[in-house]
Chains A and B, each alone.
Chain A
Amino acid sequence: MTTVHTLRIDGADVAASDGQSILAVATENGIDIPTMCHLDGLSDTASCRLCLVEVAGSNKLTPACTTLVTEGMDITTTSEQLTEYRRTITEMLFLERNHICAICVANNHCELQDLAEKLQIDHFELPVINPSVGIDASHPLFAIDHNRCIMCQRCVRVCAEIEGAFTWGVMGSGIAERVVTDMGTPWGESPTCTSCGKCVQVCPTGALFENGRSIAEGSKAQRPFLPFLKRLGEGLEQT
């Protein structure tokens, strides 16, 4: 038996069960909170900070994806301040590396583009970083263009948590952080990669793509394995 909580999101009273995140409850109730590192079915890292919300009684912002609901919580998901922060985060993601959309495989199929549109970003003001980072095209089916990577680490998590291959990892720190295959081995020589393509499917941008797909075709297929596994997981928990 699960405990039911009542709480408030943006002024509306909603019911939630124990163990749900603010994000899950908001989504269930049709309230849209911007996210990037979160993906249903994967563990959460609370690293993109887009989903930060205000909770009455606390002067700290809290990530909706990892914060579990409690009885009587009073949550504000949108405010001028929060929107401003979300715009800045999005701008940071664009300026950290190279995102010239017109020449990207993910143009018009990109979650970063969608986010910028949703937040109505029309210009950038912050300093541009854009170091020159490479491409690894050694894999027969897929490639990674680090210029488009926003370090959400969805690829790392899907590879470990769903495929169980642990091919992807993270090397370096700070602004020099990169996702790598097998501690830096070229992807094509990876002894652990099963070529399942899940990383390509979860990648929100044009960083991971299928070789040979034309720009017009786009390369992001559906992600049928994730919701399925999520339902399976929930089903198992309930029995």
Chain B
Amino acid sequence: MSESSATTSARPRRRVVNLPAHVGPTRASAYVCEAVSCLSMQSHDVLLGLGERVAAAGLTDVEVKRVGCLGLCAAGPLVQIPETGELFAHVVPDNLGGIVEALAAAVPGGERVPEAPFFSRQLRIVTENSGRIDPESLEDYVASGGYQALRTVLSTMTPAEVRDEIARSGLRGRGGAGYPTGLKWNTVAKAIGSPKYVICNADEGDPGAFMDRSVLESDPYRVLEGMAIAAYAVGASIGYVYCRAEYPLAVSRLHKAIQAAGRSNYLGASMLDTEFSFEVDIRQGAGAFVCGEETALIASLEGGRGTPRTRPPYPAVAGLWHQPTLINNVETFANVAPIIRKGGSWFAGLGTATSKGTKVFALAGRVVNTGLIEVPMGTTLREIVFDIGGGIVDGRAFKAVQTGGPSGGCIPSEFLDMGVDYESLIGVGSFMGSGGMIVMDETSCMVDVARYFMDFCREESCGKCVPCRVGTTQLFMLLERITTGEATMDDLAQMERLGHMVQRTSLCGLGQGAPNPIFSTLRYFRDEYVAHIVDRVCPAGVCSIEPAPVST
């Protein structure tokens, strides 16, 4: 298994993928992840190197293929042999011999490596194609069932039937608040005005969240298909994807997908030879978190300052250019085609009483397997953290899991057996949000966590309304007093009062949600606050507190 690393590392970097085409049926394939995380660790060199090695080894019945996110991002670059189930982690371009050997030995239909719980415990609907198809290939998407749903919709269903099917599925918005999607579509359909717009919210600004980016990078056609079905259902003719400029690969894949779909009549005028027309364009946001709020997003699309405005009127009635506008999250749109293909009742059969289907989470923090996972609603935190996540790093003790990003909260161990859905999370003082999940162990200080999120909100506050603009800064100052040991119990009481006021009086969800990390950590870890204030110690040893002046 000697590798001539000298020749591989001397190979000039090439940008164009030019893999040797294999002839005849495929016996085995190597799926190389080319989503951003693996790409940043040279997975493109792995792809090229594997292509060369496979050709050199004369394996003409082996396909080497670029795919989207395989999920286990922290172990990248990842290569999978789907025929055997083998997964290669931390692959380096200089050491590909093992993979080539495995490819040479692979027997189709032969024995499969049993999948790790990380994979077997997941249920993939939104990410069904991630890591399985080439995200830049329309043919691959179509071959895996893509555009069947749109075909069905355009040729056999009325817009009202489509809306009924979505309503029957029980799908709720994945952008955070879980608003029923069918209801929103019906409101836009009934609103008076023309043209109507469909907007895909791909602003994804929560710290640590990358669910939407991964979907766009791994399966862009699925989002476009969902948008087209939505447009037909609500009577819209123009669509925009509002994507953060920090996601260049997502933007470029989306751009290619829009062009290829347009050429093949899956977008544009008279789609699939019907009367229906729908155009989609991409708009890039400058990366302000608040621009993910729907009214701020619309203001930004109109060329103005991206600040929220009061609702009503809701965008469904008066949105972009005051026209009826459907705005949904990337993951919401990504659920649409499977619902049409398999039926609303199928989807409604998954999940919990109030939350149907699956949810994609970005698992991060002090957990062994970090990365992207998709699980049915109602999966318990214990299954997520310990089975899929593989438990806590270094065998330490679990302390809390943070969900919902800056509007969310920390859930302590007593709720590990709680099934995760929209209502259960709110019930324990947290929030679904876009799907960030940060696992914390005993080395995390809960006051410091609250301080971190308040710092984020203070930085991201647009400044329009007084309670959020001034209040988040004041809350942050009070938290700093606590973490540096300068606070009194009066400061704590004042912080709670101020938090309630900011929550109740702020204009948009950013300010309204900003105090939540404080409330949830106070609810379960008040003793840590008291320890900082009264005993002047940080129990987790995170905050540096000057010892108290010795009183004589």
Whether A47 contacts B498 by the Cβ 8 Å rule is no
Which A residues touch B461, using CB under 8 A? 173-175
Give complex CA distance A84, B469 in Å. Answer: 18
Which B residues touch A174, using CB under 8 A? 458-463, 469, 472-473
Contact with A along B200-212 (1 / 0, CB 8 A): 0000000000000
Whether A85 contacts B501 by the Cβ 8 Å rule is yes
Measured CB to CB, the closest approach of chain B to A28, in angstroms, equals: 22
Measured CB to CB, the closest approach of chain B to A99, in angstroms, equals: 13
Measured CB to CB, the closest approach of chain B to A134, in angstroms, equals: 18
Residue A206 at the B interface, CB < 8 A?
no
Residue A212 at the B interface, CB < 8 A?
no
Whether B474 contacts A92 by the Cβ 8 Å rule is yes
Whether B460 contacts A126 by the Cβ 8 Å rule is no
Whether A127 contacts B505 by the Cβ 8 Å rule is no
Whether B466 contacts A49 by the Cβ 8 Å rule is yes
Which A residues touch B309, using CB under 8 A? 45-46
Give complex CA distance A96, B507 in Å. Answer: 18
Contact with B along A21-48 (1 / 0, CB 8 A): 0000000000000000000000001111
Which A residues touch B471, using CB under 8 A? 92
Residue A52 at the B interface, CB < 8 A?
yes
Whether A47 contacts B507 by the Cβ 8 Å rule is yes
Which B residues between 284 and 303 are near A, CB-CB below 8 angstroms? 288
Which B residues touch A92, using CB under 8 A? 466-467, 470-471, 474
Whether B464 contacts A127 by the Cβ 8 Å rule is no
Give complex CA distance A96, B469 in Å. Answer: 9
Residue A159 at the B interface, CB < 8 A?
no
Measured CB to CB, the closest approach of chain B to A181, in angstroms, equals: 16
- Known contacts: A47-B464, A61-B504. The answer to whether A175 contacts B473 by CB under 8 A is yes
Which A residues touch B310, using CB under 8 A? 46, 63, 66-67
Residue A202 at the B interface, CB < 8 A?
no
Whether B464 contacts A175 by the Cβ 8 Å rule is no
Measured CB to CB, the closest approach of chain B to A62, in angstroms, equals: 8
Measured CB to CB, the closest approach of chain A to B140, in angstroms, equals: 42
Give complex CA distance A52, B464 in Å. Answer: 15
Whether B474 contacts A85 by the Cβ 8 Å rule is no
Which B residues touch A125, using CB under 8 A? 494
Residue A95 at the B interface, CB < 8 A?
yes
Whether A129 contacts B463 by the Cβ 8 Å rule is no
For B464, the closest partner residue in chain A by CB is A47
Residue A88 at the B interface, CB < 8 A?
yes
Whether B473 contacts A129 by the Cβ 8 Å rule is yes
Which B residues touch A165, using CB under 8 A? none
Which A residues touch B494, using CB under 8 A? 125-126
Whether A129 contacts B466 by the Cβ 8 Å rule is no
Whether A95 contacts B470 by the Cβ 8 Å rule is yes
For A93, the closest partner residue in chain B by CB is B466
Contact with B along A54-69 (1 / 0, CB 8 A): 0000000101001100
Whether B470 contacts A175 by the Cβ 8 Å rule is yes
Q: Of the candidates B458, B463, B472, B474, which one forms a contact with A177 in the assembled complex, judged by CB atoms under 8 Å apart? A: B463
For A63, the closest partner residue in chain B by CB is B310
Residue A221 at the B interface, CB < 8 A?
no
A-B contact count (CB 8 A): 87
- Known contacts: A45-B464, A177-B469. The answer to whether A88 contacts B288 by CB under 8 A is no
Which B residues touch A172, using CB under 8 A? 463
Which A residues touch B463, using CB under 8 A? 151, 170, 172-177
Whether A170 contacts B305 by the Cβ 8 Å rule is yes
Give complex CA distance A85, B506 in Å. Answer: 11
- Known contacts: A46-B310, A126-B494. The answer to whether A175 contacts B478 by CB under 8 A is no
Measured CB to CB, the closest approach of chain B to A85, in angstroms, equals: 5
- Known contacts: A49-B465, A85-B504. The answer to whether A173 contacts B288 by CB under 8 A is yes
Whether A48 contacts B459 by the Cβ 8 Å rule is no
For A153, the closest partner residue in chain B by CB is B464
Which A residues touch B472, using CB under 8 A? 174
Which A residues touch B464, using CB under 8 A? 45, 47
- Known contacts: A126-B474, A173-B288. The answer to whether A88 contacts B459 by CB under 8 A is no
Contact with B along A145-189 (1 / 0, CB 8 A): 000001100000000000000000010111111000000000000
Residue B530 at the A interface, CB < 8 A?
no
Measured CB to CB, the closest approach of chain B to A208, in angstroms, equals: 19
Q: Of the candidates A85, A89, A127, which one forms a contact with B478 in the assembled complex, judged by CB atoms under 8 Å apart? A: A127
Give complex CA distance A30, B310 in Å. Answer: 26
Which A residues touch B504, using CB under 8 A? 61, 85
Whether B506 contacts A127 by the Cβ 8 Å rule is no
For A92, the closest partner residue in chain B by CB is B470
Measured CB to CB, the closest approach of chain A to B409, in angstroms, equals: 19
Whether A48 contacts B466 by the Cβ 8 Å rule is yes
Give complex CA distance A47, B305 in Å. Answer: 15
Contact with B along A77-108 (1 / 0, CB 8 A): 00000001100110011011000000000000
- Known contacts: A151-B469, A174-B458. The answer to whether A126 contacts B505 by CB under 8 A is no
- Known contacts: A49-B505, A49-B507, A170-B305. The answer to whether A88 contacts B498 by CB under 8 A is yes
Give complex CA distance A89, B466 in Å. Answer: 7
Q: Of the candidates B305, B459, B505, which one forms a contact with A89 in the assembled complex, judged by CB atoms under 8 Å apart? A: B505
User: 11 A-B residue contacts at CB 8 Å?
Assistant: A45-B309, A47-B465, A89-B466, A126-B474, A129-B473, A129-B477, A151-B463, A173-B462, A174-B459, A175-B463, A175-B470
Q: Which residues of A contact B (CB under 8 A)?
A: 45-49, 52, 61, 63, 66-67, 84-85, 88-89, 92-93, 95-96, 125-127, 129, 150-151, 170, 172-177
Q: A49-B506, A129-B473, A151-B463 are in contact. List 18 more A-B contacts (CB 8 A).
A: A61-B505, A66-B310, A84-B501, A88-B467, A93-B466, A95-B474, A96-B470, A127-B477, A129-B470, A129-B474, A150-B466, A151-B466, A172-B463, A174-B458, A174-B461, A174-B463, A175-B458, A175-B473
Q: Which residues of B contact A (CB under 8 A)?
A: 288, 305, 309-310, 458-467, 469-474, 477-478, 494, 498, 501, 504-507
